[in-house]
Homo-oligomer: A and B are copies of this chain.
Amino acid sequence: MTAPRPGARRPDGYDPHAFEPFAVTVDLAVFTVRDERLHVLLVRRGQEPYRGAWALPGGFVLPRESAGQAARRELAEETGLSGTTVARLHLEQLRTYSDPDRDPRMRVVSVAYTALVPDLPEPRGGGDAEHAQWLPYGSYGPLAFDHDTILADAHERVGAKLEYTCLATAFCPPEFTLGELRQVYETVWGVELDRPNFRRKVLATPGFVQAVEGPPRLTGGRGKPAALYRAGQATALHPPLLRPEGRQE
């Protein structure tokens, strides 16, 4: 009834040719906050199918690498960032998409990853169709393949993780103000948060952020200069920072 299987109890002999070969790829949902809007890294397809449509960056998993290694390699290639820089970015497996018809050409199983990055300089060759570009979330037509679904799942996941992890600092540069951190929450959730309450909750969570000693200023904008903070060593938030009319998956 079924092919032999690694790790199963079936008595059949093991035959490497008795299974259907699949292509395995990774797809990347890369988010950043730029100009107070959530942006996504996308590439324009130059061939059929979906020629001319936007798609998530990604690529094949190579013979000797794991899906996670493939994702980090693709992220470095698409953003033009150095390997050491990419190694510090937040990259997390989202889930795997395996509908038999998700690619009209052949059977492709794709492991999707979500990456969160601070506002980076425009990817190498900005504006060049050869490289990925930042687009405001939602500001594009339908994406190729099932990438709209993947991106929606990724957005939902990021929004949920902001509630109970310190993930928001991954969107920020090494040193940031509480206003910038609040911007992350407001941008991803699409809501406005009360400034004093946000401040109180963040500072009340040990290990979320830690104050930077230096001069308590960082100007360029209007208003009273804000103190600088660095990401703390905590990874989970207790208690969680729930969004106003919160839902979850």
Contact = CB atoms under 8 A, between A and B. Distances in A.
Interface string A46-71: 11001000011111111111111000
A150 to B, nearest CB: 10
B9 A65 contact: no
Contacts of A132: 9
A81 to B, nearest CB: 17
A6 B96 contact: no
A95 B98 contact: no
Contacts of A57: 8-9
A14 B98 contact: no
A224 interface: no
Contact of A63 (B25, B67, B96, B100): B100
A43 interface: yes
Contacts of A147: 7
Contact of A247 (B68, B100, B236, B249): B236
A45 B9 contact: yes
A98 B11 contact: no
Given A7-B25, A23-B19, A56-B7, A100 B66 contact: yes
Given A6-B25, A14-B47, A55-B9, A64 B105 contact: no
Given A7-B25, A7-B110, A165-B249, 17 more contacts: A3-B60, A3-B62, A6-B25, A6-B105, A7-B56, A8-B45, A9-B43, A10-B46, A11-B47, A21-B21, A67-B109, A96-B111, A109-B111, A165-B248, A236-B249, A238-B246, A240-B240
Interface of A: 2-11, 13-14, 16, 19-25, 27, 43-47, 50, 55-68, 93, 95-96, 98-100, 103, 105-111, 129-132, 144-145, 147, 164-165, 236, 238-240, 242, 246-249
